[in-house]
A and B are shown apart, each in its own frame.
Chain A
Amino acid sequence: MIWTMLGVFLVHVLLGLPLFIALLTTALVGFLFVDPAMIARIAPQQFFGGINVFSLMAIPLFILAGNLMNASGLTERLMRLARLMVGHLRGGMGHVNVVSSVFFAGVNGSAVADTAALGPLLVPAMRKEGYSTSFAAGLTAGSSLIGPIIPPSIFMILYASLTNTSVGSLFLAGVVPGLLLGGAFMLMNAWYARRKQLSVRSERPSRKEFGSAMLGAMPALVAPFIIVAGIVLGFVTPTESGALIVAYVALFGLMMGSMPLARVWVAMRETAKLSSAIFVIMAVSAIVSWLLSYAQVPAQFVELLTPYIDNPVMVLLVLSAITFVTGMFMEEVSALMLLTPIFIPVAMIAGIDPVHLGVIITLNITIALITPPMGACVFVAAAVSRIDITSLFRTIWPFVLVALCILLLLIFFPALTLWLPALLG
């Protein structure tokens, strides 16, 4: 049954059907194996149940916050600050790219939004500084992975809702890994700039310039602290923090006069569309996930991994490898929805902290965004850099490798994720 379902799914994805249709077809075939009479009862129920979860409502809200950031000009202010901070170094624009992603990540919960928002401005600027287009596009896609690791994070919200884990703890656990990723990409950029002998262009900014840029970007810089503090201290739920940030960015934009109402409306519409595309996948994945549970796939999976269950590192490595391969061929939200319920029983028995597992899975799923042949961030980066996708897929591997190194680091040193939640939680 599993293999037939997998086959049907892959064929329909390759045939170019929208993913939710491919998943729906897969579910249909699955029901034929189990009991066709169940379709009428279970399919609509799980479709509705899969998205009828309050914490998931944070997802459209954080997408909206990101869209409003762009509409209100806050994103550009963040980039200006990044330029003044690291722009004067060798390979300055590459550093600016990474640092902007770190800043932007504090409000934005999605990697594609990062690529789409920052790429069009940064890739041309990097090219002007002597970067190859493929490295510029690659760094844009690679550094966008920081978006879902530094809080807020759409993947983490989804994981938390599937596993009853604290979103607050997960968000805190993502901070150090996110900064590590940023550091790793900056090192990579510095190495590239050195090898290519890129010239140092801009001058060191004056203290005054720096101060004014800092002040201008401040509203966006404090946003992540509001989000994390609000959730961790229990003042607001993740969903509520999403609404607060939306209101905060909207008020800021409207008061500064940098955002006409018409753009707010466009941001709403784009958010509704993207949310629809994401939620329908979550809803349909819930049907497939139910079928897998009903066929007791999670229990079989536990049995399969029983020989290694005493060794958490080994278990995490196996789970990561499975996620990596799945992520190559599957859209990320559905991969997360289908794998998490299968992994959780194994991880519990192996004694892996659910928060740690959440960060590992999130990073894995995020890396899948830049791996061929279905890496959404690469597609967007290629589109905004006007570069051929296949050639970008050839040059993306070093970036994947760097991210995988960080992943391994986290697997071997769980303290990197768990230290901050333990300290502040």
Chain B
Amino acid sequence: QAETINLSYNGAPDLDKNAVHVFASTLKSLVEKKTDGELELKLYPNSMLGGEQERMEQVINAPGLNIASFAGVAPLIPEIYVSAIPFLFKDFEAARQFFDEGDYWKNVQQVFSERANGAKILAVVEEGGFLAFTNSVRPIAGPEDFEGLRFRAMDPSQVALYEAFGASGTPIPWTETYMALRTGVADGQMNPPMYIILGSLYEVQKYLTLANIQYSDQFLVANGQLLDSLSDENRKALMSAVHEANQMARVTNQAKVGERLAFLKEHGMEIINPTDANLEALRTQGQPAYLNWLTEEQGIEQRWIDMALEDAGMTKLAN
């Protein structure tokens, strides 16, 4: 008799376009294989069971799995915004190590579990590479190239970042972003290549700057009672399936980023790789604005920031 576990997430069930779906479907087959079909995952893509907030409430209160974005996790633990400090990671390697081995992340997991009725964050799922700047005015190599540009912002932290570079940021919903870029209401925006392709933004943007702004990730959350109810054997199988699926998804994801950049280049985008000196300049100019937003607007204690910077090997950051 198989036990069915629901796994909900956002985005289409499309292996080509949705990195989260790649992870979810790999996890499904691995779990079923490793438990000899004793556990069975039922996939609910496309936010079918509700938005981020609703799905998070469901996974806290009832047996199930959910892959949450920042919007789902942050209302419970705003400290998670610390992991999105801009220019925190040099590359995939650094970001993965940060989450796999760092103290900051262990603390987040623990506090989350306390606040979320025993629910656990089981994995950090890569979503589509790092965020990159795009714009239609000029190639951006360093902070000075932002002067006077108008950017589409997703939230106030992005506004703060743009303003730190002498540009301006306007909140525009994702659904209206293409139009805003096309009509010149905004000159640019930031997103991982996956979203630049999904939203056809390459049609209306010329320059793409690979500045590794933020690591793009979501979080696999499991209900506490569900984990407790499983037999030791099945729980171990589930955990190892999660681990394995995540490793596989990372490999696929990293390979896809290359493919996607090639696609964007083919469709007329100019890709800019800033020099190390320029990346450093972006970091020193951009980070304080975000850190300020973290402490002032989100009321996050300094110790979380210190811990994260330490884990990322950035102890001597100008603040």
Contacts and interface: CB of A to CB of B under 8 A. Distances in A.
Question: A and B touching (C-beta < 8 Å)?
Answer: yes
A234 B185 contact: yes
Contact of B54 (A49, A233, A298, A345): A49
A310 to B, nearest CB: 18
Name the interface size band of chain B: 20 to 34
Interface stretch (A18-26, A166-174, A247-255): A166-174
Contacts of B174: 164
B49 A290 contact: yes
Contacts, number: 64
Contacts of A46: 50, 54
B175 A294 contact: no
Contacts of B172: 234
B179 A168 contact: yes
A294 B178 contact: no
Contacts of A167: 175-176
A396 B159 CA distance: 54
Given A41-B58, A46-B54, A348-B12, A234 B49 contact: no
Nearest to B178: A166
A164 B175 contact: yes
B175 A166 contact: yes
Interface in B158-207: 172-176, 178-180, 182-183, 185-186
Given A234-B186, A237-B173, A348-B12, A293 B48 contact: yes
Contact of A232 (B51, B175, B183): B183
User: Which one of B49, B50, B172, B182 has the greatest number of beta carbons of chain A within 10 Å?
Assistant: B50
Contacts of B25: none
A15 interface: no
A55 B183 CA distance: 21
Interface string A340-364: 0100110010000000000000000
A contacts with B: majority SS: helix
Contact of B62 (A38, A164, A235, A348): A38
A45 B54 contact: yes
A348 B14 CA distance: 11
Given A49-B50, A341-B48, A165 B175 contact: yes
B292 interface: no
Nearest to A229: B183
A158 interface: no
Interface in B29-54: 44, 46, 48-51, 53-54
Contacts of B54: 45-46, 49
Interface string A288-317: 001001100010000000000000000000
Contact of A234 (B12, B53, B61, B183): B183
B66 to A, nearest CB: 14
A164 B46 CA distance: 11
Contacts of B173: 55, 237
B310 to A, nearest CB: 38
Contacts of A232: 179, 183
Name the interface size band of chain A: 20 to 34
A160 interface: yes
Given A45-B54, A232-B183, A168 B176 contact: yes
B58 A234 contact: no
A293 B44 contact: yes
A372 to B, nearest CB: 34
Contacts of B91: none
Nearest to A166: B175
Nearest to B48: A293
A42 B55 CA distance: 10
A345 B46 contact: yes
Contacts of B175: 160, 164-167
B182 A425 contact: yes
A169 B179 contact: yes
A166 B176 contact: yes
B297 interface: no
Interface in A303-341: 341
Contacts of B12: 348
User: Which one of B58, B179, B182, B185 has the greatest number of beta carbons of chain A within 10 Å?
Assistant: B179
A293 B50 CA distance: 10
A371 to B, nearest CB: 30
A33 to B, nearest CB: 16
Given A41-B62, A234-B172, A294 B49 contact: yes
User: Which one of A55, A165, A235, A293 has the greatest number of beta carbons of chain B within 10 Å?
Assistant: A293
B62 A425 contact: no
A231 interface: yes
B312 to A, nearest CB: 33
A290 B8 CA distance: 13
Interface of A: 38, 41-42, 45-46, 49, 55, 160, 164-169, 231-235, 237, 290, 293-294, 298, 341, 344-345, 348, 425
Given A168-B176, A233-B185, A294-B49, 17 more contacts: A41-B61, A45-B54, A45-B57, A165-B175, A166-B175, A166-B178, A232-B179, A233-B179, A234-B172, A234-B176, A234-B180, A290-B50, A294-B44, A294-B48, A345-B46, A425-B182, A425-B183
24 contacts: A41-B57, A41-B61, A46-B54, A49-B50, A49-B53, A164-B174, A164-B175, A165-B175, A166-B175, A166-B179, A167-B175, A233-B179, A233-B180, A234-B183, A293-B44, A293-B48, A294-B44, A294-B49, A298-B48, A344-B46, A345-B46, A348-B12, A425-B178, A425-B179
5 closest Cβ contacts across the A-B interface? A234-B185, A234-B180, A293-B48, A166-B175, A49-B54
